[in-house]
């Protein structure tokens, strides 16, 4: 199943490092287990990196999507 998560929806006005555990918990809940996940939307690079690290080992694949680059696969653990 493909799950798309808008990183901007995880925080209100500005992402704050002190709230990282809240952002990670929301993301893990939205992502589920073993799904193909796409992160997109406005957000600081540190948040994207922390979320990617938290999702590794829990989801089948992770991609980032931006208007400039399109979808970029970060990891894919699908054996096929």
Dihedral sign from CA coordinates of 26, 70, 33, 45: negative
| Residue-averaged pLDDT of the chain | 96
Q: How many domains does the chain have?
A: 1
Whether the pLDDT of residue 29 is over 90: the answer is yes
In terms of phi and psi (left: phi > 0; alpha: psi -120 to 50; beta: otherwise), the region of 70 is left
pLDDT (mean) for 25-53: 97
Whether the pLDDT of residue 80 is over 80: the answer is no
Query: d(Cα 18, Cα 33) in Å, to the nearest integer?
Result: 26
Q: What is the pLDDT of residues 41-72, one digit of tens each?
A: 999 999 999 999 999 999 999 999 999 999 99
Expressed as residue numbers, the domain containing 64 is 2-76
Give pLDDT, residue 68: 92
Kindly report the backbone phi and psi dihedral angles of residue 65, in degrees, each rounded to the nearest multiple of 5, phi listed first: -130, 135
Are 2 and 36 within 8 A, CB to CB?
yes
């Amino acid at each position: 199943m493909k799950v798309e998560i808008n990183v901007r929806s995880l925080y209100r006005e500005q992402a704050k490092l002190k709230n990282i555990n809240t952002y990670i918990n929301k993301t893990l809940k939205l992502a589920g287990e073993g799904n193909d996940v796409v992160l997109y939307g406005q957000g600081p690079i540190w948040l994207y990196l922390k979320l990617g690290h938290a999702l590794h080992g829990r989801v089948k694949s992770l991609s980032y999507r931006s208007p400039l680059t399109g979808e970029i696969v970060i990891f894919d653990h699908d054996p096929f």
